[in-house]
Structure 1
Amino acid sequence: MAPMTTTSRAHSFNAAAAAYAANRPSYPPALLDAVEELAGRPLAGARVADVGAGTGIATALLHERGARIVAVEPGDGMTEQFRRTLPGVPVVRGDGNNLPLADASADFVTYAQAWHWTDPARSVPEAMRVLRPGGALALWWNVADRDVGWVADQTSRIRRFFGHADIALGAHGTAGRTRDAGDLDFAGRTVPWTREVPLDTHLANLASHSVFLVAGDETTGKFIDEERAALTEVFPQGVVREAYVVELCVAVR
């Protein structure tokens, strides 16, 4: 198994961008409602910098809300997939630690599943530099809802397989993700939601997470085969009801 360094995990998505785009979950409309409520301003017409945009899953929703978006993405593979998915939305190369954007140029700076890859000592000042006065930094993550029995069981299997207590998907809470964000005053919200997908889609979604990508094909294949057997007992019709809680935190400049 390859070493699971933060850098190797962060870069692992580029080789799996197509699978990421095809199988990862999106977000419920109620999430963007909550973003607007906590920010105290609408997304429609707002200038939004979506950082760590990946393949554009969140960017697409922001665009549909009428936001004027520039996406920021560091990875070659993810950027290529983004351009195929959202050819009409501008994307620039860069990351949250050194944003390639002008001072006071955005009403929102958003991070979907991406803030934890940044160094807050650098990404917080960068977000504040790019935001206009009254602008909002919004961070969110889809986290598997471990109050659901089968999700808790899967989490335990992932932890046992990799031998780390914190390796399970979405293991870190919102407080941990924002504790190093300086003096920012974050308001939080949780948004539960579900989606129903074929078992193969669920397993492909699972395999698109960095812990599996870094582990390599043989190790990941072994886990996925075992997980297929376990989930077939829970979902004999072959349709998995995935359960999530979106963890959202918003700070207004």
Structure 2
Amino acid sequence: MTRRALSFDTVADQYDTARPGYPPALFDAIEELTGRPLKGSRVIDVGAGTGIATRLLRERGARVTAVEPGPGMAARLRRSLPGIPLVRGLGDALPLADGCADLVTYAQAWHWTDPARSVPEALRVLRPGGALALWWNVSDAGVPWVAAQDERLRGQLAGGAHSATGRGRKLPEELVRTERRVPWTRSVTLDTHLANLGSHSVFRALDEQATAAVLARERTELLTLFPDGIVEEPYVVELTVTLRAPGPSTS
């Protein structure tokens, strides 16, 4: 886990309230591709953050354990989900027993790992026939206003705030994977949209004054498109599922 990843600790509350969740169709796709219902499954949610995906997995009936290294993120998860088992740890060295999980999930977190270490660790804690599921919410750049916003932000920051880094590309080629794209939208206030933007890692390199200036310019731009102050955020969830082969060991 990089220092940049741990920087989210400083905006844990903002992250939890502003970041998008995930649509029911994503969890339908996970069940389809893994061949197993989430209800009753033993799930390890790695890089759980404040518990956005953890909460939704539990609502589908999964028996979830969250793994999170950041103290600020973990504290927020404990407050909002006090009944969820929480383990402080990294995906590169999971403090969990062999074969303890039906499903290991990474929501917005796999790209912070070293696959040379995190792949064997995920396979180790999975039971034979279990699955590793990775997913990212990606803003739909096919929508003109999203593409225009990303171009503006790239001109002001060290990268756009809509990119999805990592994805399933960092899985070894020998692992058989299945990919699925799940489109969805959410309607949020302009304040929530700007708080979501400000929670991205590209803003962590800026001081508060510079961040405020960038977000103020975005507010002015977006009010011309959404004068009622309600923003329609279009997303595509990019999902990759890899099954652990049946047998005594694949690590």
Name the TM-score, length of structure 2 as normaliser: 0.94
What displacement does 1:92 show? Answer: 0.5
Out of 146, 165, 171, the residue aligned to residue 163 of structure 2 is 171
Deviations 1:122-161 (A, max 9, x none): 0000000000011000000000000111101101011111
- 2:105 corresponds to 1:115: no
**What value does the CA root-mean-square deviation take over the aligned residues?**
1.2
Partner of 1:196: 187
Report percent identity of matched pairs.
Answer: 61
- Pairwise mapping of residues 20-59 of structure 1 onto structure 2 (< 5 A)? 20-59=15-54
Partner of 1:218: 209
- Pairwise mapping of residues 176-191 of structure 1 onto structure 2 (< 5 A)? 177-182=167-172, 183-191=174-182
SS class of match (2:54):
helix
Show structure 2 runs of 5+ residues with no match: 245-251
Say if 1:171 and 1:251 are closer, same or farther in 2 by CA, change over 3 A.
same
Out of 224, 227, 230, the residue aligned to residue 236 of structure 1 is 227
Partner of 1:65: 60
- 2:143 corresponds to 1:151: no
What displacement does 1:170 show? Answer: 4.1
What displacement does 1:172 show? Answer: 4.1
Show structure 1 runs of 5+ residues with no match: 1-5
For 1:8 and 1:50, how far apart are their aligned partners in 2? Answer: 20
Partner of 2:238: 247
For 1:198 and 1:179, how far apart are their aligned partners in 2? Answer: 34
Partner of 2:248: none
What displacement does 1:184 show? Answer: 1.4
Alignment size in residue pairs: 243
Which stretches of structure 1, 4 residues or longer, exceed 6 Å deviation after superposition?
Answer: none
For 1:180 and 1:22, how far apart are their aligned partners in 2? Answer: 29
What displacement does 1:8 show? Answer: 3.4
